[in-house]
Chains A and B, each alone.
Chain A
């Protein structure tokens, strides 16, 4: 059976959809296995997709096309960038279902249906080749998230979802108007065609800003990030995993798919804005993370800091920066997902996110402590984990554009180590001050099955990232080639002979000494 001949993407969209409908009508005991089965089936299809994807083949593979109603076409297809993000989504989904297995007891069928619907919409976002189809998936994806936060969320879920709504509403409306204008200008909503359409430079500015309004909120970039900590804190564990793991990647995907290749000149002009906001975000949100008392809020703020590295990487206009940004997206999806799962594990036992209620749990939960240490280290970008590869490449790319941005963004490695190790210390180390925390059981088999696969992929991506770089290499190169004409010059300009800096090397003639030494 040749996967390329089947409408794999449509099947991957249909499976969770059908399962979602089923879940609405069955008992809780049945909804859970249905949801798990559907997400695992999609994971298998994802692996099939991965294996049959040809990195050297056509740019768009597994394409499908059918006329829907009106101007909207059912056009699907993926390149390597979409592929990796779809893989991330289908990989995290079964884990989310597993994480909700026991902790969700209320309206289980609806809950599973919301998650399955979410999966369809996420895959749709990364696979859509029609601008309006993309928009529908992109915006509709928020609806199940609203439901998940609003129905199964915590105390202040209403405020959180309301904030989420207000932020995203404005951006979406502006982006829709921009999209309609683009369709009129180009005469098509076909994304591959639009990718090679040269929009007038004056129009690009407004279009870029319209898309920016939506993607910046989704990223989220400073200062439109304040919905994220609230949404995370209120969402159930699995909701946080999907929010951090996949939904935050939609902003980055949007920049990569639309803003950069469609508006190269505008993107180049707005580099100071993007870098400026990212630099503020790294320092500002890292410092805010340092003083958090709530575990989920801390990780949420750290997400904003990590996403700032993504935006820096994306707007470097070079191969390392963009590939690095994609790896940071994948890595952050896994690592912050895993960190939220880790929070969920102890939240399920103690029902509090208050950091000070824990302490010294290395004693009673050694396996948990080990995994949490691994994800903490991945979060701070320790070489050998996925976090390092992405950050390193993004920042290496950024150095070619701006040494200031690189310096400030790289301070994230200091601050990140500060807040993450401080968090780890307060949870896992120190005396066992709280008797109930000291009595917690170590992770069980189910929880191990949720965390161990992520741990394996995090190390795999850190030690042998080629698996993840190979499919995106050509597509990133295509984007870099497309935007090359607007690429910034960078501030490191080399002057081959510069007498003004000669005072640094007055004492001796280095070349001569080298020669003498080797004789």
Chain B
């Protein structure tokens, strides 16, 4: 029993107690147990991480229990602790603990809180099992476990049809990725005779140059396995093609979006590629695929994020885009930079989501930014937290001096892409800079629309609703026109309130993370010397040369992302602060492109037409035409006519005396046996 056992299993225990025992212990106790459990896990995680940073910890595997042993295939429950795990441990437990705390405030009025907290803790357990896995099957266990928790939490408000649809979509689309993951595991087992991660990584270089049969084709062995596994990563990390579930997942409560769909679960794919980086290093083709998919996702999601009006969807596409950054970093060989961005992103993206949650809380569940505006003065603490998050995600900083968290990690990715020698590194570099511009634009657009300008709340149905409910107790009463007329400042008389303390504390802590995480930790993650020492205690392949080369890129490369960031800010400022009708004019000038972005490149429509509808259509076809029309018609129903000696007998047969059937059978049996007895 070591601290890692407590870190992993305490959230499970808390989830079980809160989930199953809520009727006995009550809501407050359920919330306290889960929250306390997570804070404990978090406090135990940081020393491990610090230990790996300063070199006092070394990698080890803590056994738990046997799992499966079948022939030469065996895998156990065990907890692997190394530098890579440690990074994930602090990210998961810290964000999860803060999100638990935040939910005390955000979910205060929900009648179903114990269930919510139990799901959150269950999710945390599954995620911890994923990152501590020492074999691919346990990783898959965690992988599916987080999928389940995500499904349950997206559909937490299960009376809402849209939430249910989003939950199913998330699970099923992830399963498409899981199909690849499973085939990858099967292939790995076929090839190496083991699913143990260190054994596979050690054996992989020997298989370079070999080929393998797959679906009748002859393909490069390592490329096939890496790509199959990467399909799994694409599903979980919402990469282009399998991303469609992530924006819909915003149907879940906002704390869930912060924890699962920003900081932790969606980064599992990046974690997997980094965990298996020595495997991916054996196939340039697979790395190229990772690079292209990552870079394309980064730009795709950024373009869609430009035009969304729902505050959570903007952040969701932003997440999708940032995950693309992490993947192309991995694809170009900069795994350390990918993990670094994962780390900093967890803090500033969780901050942005929780900040958005605070705004939504203040705005009576209105999520449409078109009905925000001027909130800076009303919810100043939320504003400053969001500001820190925005400065972090857009990568504000001065080359050679320092900056916010994203400045270190995103710039490292862009510079590494430039310095890399992989096939598509310039594609990744170009897109990285362009996406940085778009990131800056949509992030500032969000800030300007939400916090600056004048209030536009009056048009919001949610606000009207709030005022109406409120109005009933007022003397203005039911006279709507009067209420509106009284407030021509666009506020409709509504007064947003700053969120309660349980929500503000997490915002404060994460603000510190968004400001300092890059500055404090960049040495351990990406500097050639210190990074090498840190990652040596893990399976991550640390490309020391690339990290050196990254620092020697020309000055214009280093400045390019800063220039992109400033350009994005400037354009957003001009469009949303100076000229009020610029967005409309631009949208109508480029109407087809605008609609293309607004409709998310029509992926949902395409999939609906290609997969969903045909599945139901074929289902009905097979049932009505196949089973009933052909099999039954020519099978039992048809043979009835053949078997029957005449209509009379047929009628008798169908009269349903089961005894008849039984009798016929027994007669047959008796005849056969008698025949045997006579013969012998």
- Say yes or no: A166 contacts B73, CB within 8 Å: no
Given known A-B contacts A165-B661, A410-B182, A429-B158, A324 and B70 have beta carbons under 8 A apart: yes
Name the residue in A70, A398, A504 with the highest tally of chain B Cβ atoms < 10 Å from its Cβ.
Answer: A504
Contact stretch, chosen from B301-309, B319-327, B553-561, B672-680: B672-680
> Does A58 sit at the interface, judged by CB under 8 A?
no
- CB of A143 to closest CB in B, whole Å: 5
Closest to A292 in B: B623
- Say yes or no: B161 contacts A180, CB within 8 Å: no
- Say yes or no: B148 contacts A494, CB within 8 Å: no
Contact stretch, chosen from B44-52, B168-176, B463-471: B168-176
Given known A-B contacts A150-B658, A383-B137, A508 and B421 have beta carbons under 8 A apart: yes
- CA of A166 to CA of B207 in the docked complex: distance in angstroms? 54
Name the residue in A69, A360, A407, A432 with the highest tally of chain B Cβ atoms < 10 Å from its Cβ.
Answer: A407
> Does B593 sit at the interface, judged by CB under 8 A?
no
> Does B615 sit at the interface, judged by CB under 8 A?
yes
> Does A1 sit at the interface, judged by CB under 8 A?
no
**B673 partner residues in chain A, CB cutoff 8 A:** 70-72, 132
- Say yes or no: A320 contacts B70, CB within 8 Å: yes
> Does B380 sit at the interface, judged by CB under 8 A?
no
Interface string of A96-109 (1 = CB under 8 A from B): 00000000000000
Q: Interface size for chain A: under 10, 10 to 19, 20 to 34, or 35 or more residues?
A: 35 or more
**B187 partner residues in chain A, CB cutoff 8 A:** 399, 492
> Does A514 sit at the interface, judged by CB under 8 A?
yes
Closest to B219 in A: A501
- CA of A135 to CA of B666 in the docked complex: distance in angstroms? 12
Q: Name B587-628 residues within 8 Å CB distance of A.
A: 615-616, 618-620, 622-623, 626-628
| Neighbour of A383 across the interface among B141, B164, B656, CB < 8 A | B141
> Does A202 sit at the interface, judged by CB under 8 A?
no
Q: Name B517-542 residues within 8 Å CB distance of A.
A: 541-542
Q: Is the interface of A mostly helix, strand, loop or mixed?
A: helix
- CA of A9 to CA of B284 in the docked complex: distance in angstroms? 61
> Does B216 sit at the interface, judged by CB under 8 A?
yes
- Say yes or no: A413 contacts B168, CB within 8 Å: no
- Say yes or no: A501 contacts B220, CB within 8 Å: yes
- Say yes or no: B171 contacts A407, CB within 8 Å: no
Contact stretch, chosen from A81-89, A121-129, A208-216, A415-423: A415-423
Closest to B422 in A: A507
Q: Name A487-519 residues within 8 Å CB distance of B.
A: 491-498, 500-508, 510-511, 513-514, 516-517, 519
- CA of A431 to CA of B143 in the docked complex: distance in angstroms? 30
Q: Name A338-369 residues within 8 Å CB distance of B.
A: 360, 362-363
- CA of A501 to CA of B285 in the docked complex: distance in angstroms? 11
Closest to A369 in B: B158
Contact stretch, chosen from A40-48, A155-163, A242-250, A443-451: A155-163
Interface string of B30-73 (1 = CB under 8 A from A): 00000000000000000000000000000000000111111111
- CB of A233 to closest CB in B, whole Å: 13
Given known A-B contacts A425-B168, A507-B423, A319 and B662 have beta carbons under 8 A apart: no
- CB of B194 to closest CB in A, whole Å: 12
> Does A21 sit at the interface, judged by CB under 8 A?
no
> Does A267 sit at the interface, judged by CB under 8 A?
no
Given known A-B contacts A139-B665, A162-B654, A514-B541, A421 and B171 have beta carbons under 8 A apart: yes
**A417 partner residues in chain B, CB cutoff 8 A:** 171-172, 175
| Neighbour of B144 across the interface among A70, A382, A407, A477, CB < 8 A | A382
**B68 partner residues in chain A, CB cutoff 8 A:** 389, 393, 465-466, 469
Contact stretch, chosen from A10-18, A22-30, A167-175, A255-263: A167-175
> Does A199 sit at the interface, judged by CB under 8 A?
no
Contact stretch, chosen from A49-57, A59-67, A222-230, A268-276: A222-230
**B191 partner residues in chain A, CB cutoff 8 A:** 494
- Say yes or no: B544 contacts A517, CB within 8 Å: yes
Closest to A519 in B: B544
- Say yes or no: A180 contacts B145, CB within 8 Å: no
- Say yes or no: A464 contacts B615, CB within 8 Å: no
> Does B178 sit at the interface, judged by CB under 8 A?
yes
> Does B571 sit at the interface, judged by CB under 8 A?
no
- CB of B362 to closest CB in A, whole Å: 28
**B159 partner residues in chain A, CB cutoff 8 A:** 360, 363, 429-432
- CA of A79 to CA of B653 in the docked complex: distance in angstroms? 40
**A404 partner residues in chain B, CB cutoff 8 A:** 215-216
> Does A406 sit at the interface, judged by CB under 8 A?
yes
> Does A136 sit at the interface, judged by CB under 8 A?
yes
- Say yes or no: B212 contacts A287, CB within 8 Å: no
- Say yes or no: A493 contacts B158, CB within 8 Å: no
> Does A291 sit at the interface, judged by CB under 8 A?
yes
Given known A-B contacts A413-B182, A511-B208, A501 and B218 have beta carbons under 8 A apart: yes
Q: Name B170-212 residues within 8 Å CB distance of A.
A: 171-172, 175-176, 178-179, 182-183, 185-187, 189-191, 205, 207-212
- Say yes or no: B676 contacts A71, CB within 8 Å: yes
**A514 partner residues in chain B, CB cutoff 8 A:** 205, 278, 281, 541
Tally of B interface residues using CB under 8 Å = 107
Closest to B540 in A: A517
- Say yes or no: B178 contacts A510, CB within 8 Å: no
- CB of A256 to closest CB in B, whole Å: 15
> Does A147 sit at the interface, judged by CB under 8 A?
yes
- Say yes or no: B212 contacts A413, CB within 8 Å: no
| Neighbour of B653 across the interface among A162, A292, A477, A511, CB < 8 A | A162
- CB of A114 to closest CB in B, whole Å: 11
**A140 partner residues in chain B, CB cutoff 8 A:** 665-666
> Does A457 sit at the interface, judged by CB under 8 A?
no
Given known A-B contacts A396-B73, A404-B216, A492-B187, A161 and B636 have beta carbons under 8 A apart: no
Q: Name A280-297 residues within 8 Å CB distance of B.
A: 284-285, 287-292
| Neighbour of A464 across the interface among B67, B178, B680, CB < 8 A | B67
**B675 partner residues in chain A, CB cutoff 8 A:** 180
Closest to A165 in B: B661
Name the residue in A169, A176, A287, A382 with the highest tally of chain B Cβ atoms < 10 Å from its Cβ.
Answer: A287
> Does A400 sit at the interface, judged by CB under 8 A?
yes
- Say yes or no: B186 contacts A491, CB within 8 Å: no
| Neighbour of B544 across the interface among A493, A504, A516, CB < 8 A | A516
**A432 partner residues in chain B, CB cutoff 8 A:** 159
| Neighbour of B627 across the interface among A183, A226, A290, A382, CB < 8 A | A226
Interface string of B644-670 (1 = CB under 8 A from A): 000000000111101001101110110
- Say yes or no: A492 contacts B182, CB within 8 Å: no
> Does A335 sit at the interface, judged by CB under 8 A?
no
Closest to A189 in B: B676
- Say yes or no: A510 contacts B205, CB within 8 Å: yes
**B543 partner residues in chain A, CB cutoff 8 A:** 513, 517
**A71 partner residues in chain B, CB cutoff 8 A:** 673, 676-677, 680
Cβ contacts A to B, 12 pairs, < 8 Å: A132-B676, A158-B656, A161-B658, A319-B73, A360-B159, A403-B183, A413-B175, A425-B155, A466-B67, A494-B210, A497-B210, A507-B288
Please give me the 6 A-B residue pairs with the lowest Cβ-Cβ distance, nearest first. Answer: A319-B71, A498-B211, A158-B656, A504-B220, A399-B186, A291-B619
Known A-B contacts: A227-B636, A392-B137. Give 6 more (CB < 8 A): A162-B653, A410-B182, A491-B216, A494-B221, A501-B219, A513-B281
Residues of A within 8 A of B (CB): 69-72, 132, 135-136, 139-140, 142-143, 146-147, 150-151, 157-159, 161-163, 165-167, 169, 172-173, 176, 180, 183, 223-224, 226-227, 229, 284-285, 287-292, 318-320, 323-324, 360, 362-363, 377, 382-384, 388-389, 392-393, 395-396, 398-400, 403-404, 406-407, 410-411, 413-415, 417-418, 421-422, 425, 428-432, 463-466, 469, 473, 477, 491-498, 500-508, 510-511, 513-514, 516-517, 519
Residues of B within 8 A of A (CB): 65-73, 77, 137, 140-141, 143-145, 148, 151, 155, 158-159, 161, 164, 167-168, 171-172, 175-176, 178-179, 182-183, 185-187, 189-191, 205, 207-216, 218-223, 278, 281-285, 288, 333, 421-423, 541-545, 615-616, 618-620, 622-623, 626-628, 631-632, 635-636, 639-640, 643, 653-656, 658, 661-662, 664-666, 668-669, 672-673, 675-677, 680
